[in-house]
Amino acid sequence: MGGNPVQAFCDRTPFECWANTYFVGNSYGELCSNVAESFNAWIRKERYLPITAMVDQIRSKVMMLMSDRREISVGWTSILCPELEKKLEEKISAVHSERSQSVDLSRSSCTCNQWKIQGFPCERAVCCIQSIGESVYDYIDPYFTSDYFHRSYSYAIEPIPNFDMPRVISEVATIEPPDTRKGPGMPRVNRIPNTGSSSKRERLCSRCRTYVHHNRSTCAT
């Protein structure tokens, strides 16, 4: 058999399953795996537990999270979540100094593509909406509203009843983890950055006196 198996797999898999460009849903500005990585870090201790204990611990953490989010949002009176209200204010007061863009309010789009990516009108779109005397809130996705936030965390996760569970667990029923061998080389610690991740901030190299991604010890000058 010849050919590249990875290329063959990509060729027979629909683009929307692996390419951000063809994603059919709304990404709301999340173009990388940071959400998954944040959750993975959030359960850093729990993920090493046996599967049943891990699921129960995650359930408890989610219950506490939802309770905290409900308490936080009780006093919200704004249409949008506070952070989004601040973001909207910044866009309203923004000064445009870049090249011209074309805005289509009927399609909720701008040639800068930020409206489609973020799900939130860009500065140019906000300016156009205000110029025709309409409310900017009518053009913002309901996902960003305080009402959606309230409803997202309004549900309760019921605890798992344990009154009918056996008090003594037989050693025969204990499932041991499978035997595994440690792979060669040092285990990876840092994750592989993807296209949507933010790049590292440049810093001043004391040797070449320019803002770059290296330092004095790795400078080739």
Q: Which tens digits make up the pLDDT trace of 206-221?
A: 777 665 666 667 777 6
CA–CA dist 120, 108 (Å, integer): 9
Whether 219 is in a domain gets the answer: no
| Domain count within the chain | 1
Q: What is the rounded distance in angstroms from the CA atom of residue 86 to the CA atom of residue 129?
A: 18
54 lies in some domain: no
Residue 195 counted as domain residue: no
Tokens of 55: 């699921």
pLDDT at 190: 73
Supply the DSSP symbol for 208: T
d(CA 66, CA 152): 9
CA distance 175 to 49: 13
CA distance 210 to 189: 30
Range of the domain at 148: 11-44+75-157
Inter-residue contact 160 to 55 (CB < 8 Å): no
Q: Rounded to whole angstroms, how far apart are CA atoms 170 and 172?
A: 5
Residue whose tokens read 């993975």: 40
Q: Is position 171 within any domain?
A: no
Distance CA 115, CA 120 (A): 5
Predicted confidence band of residue 145 (pLDDT cuts 50, 70, 90)? very high
Residues written for the chain: 221
Residue 194 maps to a domain: no
Whether 192 contacts 31, CB under 8 Å: no
> One-letter amino acid identity for 122?
C
DSSP structure class, residue 175: P
Structure tokens at 77: 């009176």
> Which residues make Cβ contacts (< 8 Å) with residue 15, sequence separation at least 6?
21, 22
Residue 175: inside a domain: no
* pLDDT-derived band at 180, boundaries 50, 70, 90: confident
In a domain, 119, yes or no: yes
Which of 94-98, 145-149, 151-155 has the lowest average pLDDT?
Answer: 94-98
For residue 81, which phi and psi values (nearest 5 degrees)? -60, 150
149 band by pLDDT with thresholds 50, 70 and 90: very high
pLDDT tens-digit profile of 39-63? 888 998 898 888 888 988 999 899 9
- Of 148, 135, 131, the closest CA to residue 88 belongs to 135
How confident is the model at residue 76, as a pLDDT? 92
Chain segment 92-140, per-residue pLDDT in tens: 887 655 567 889 999 888 888 888 888 889 888 998 999 999 999 999 9
Average pLDDT on 195-213 reads 63
Inside any domain, residue 25: yes
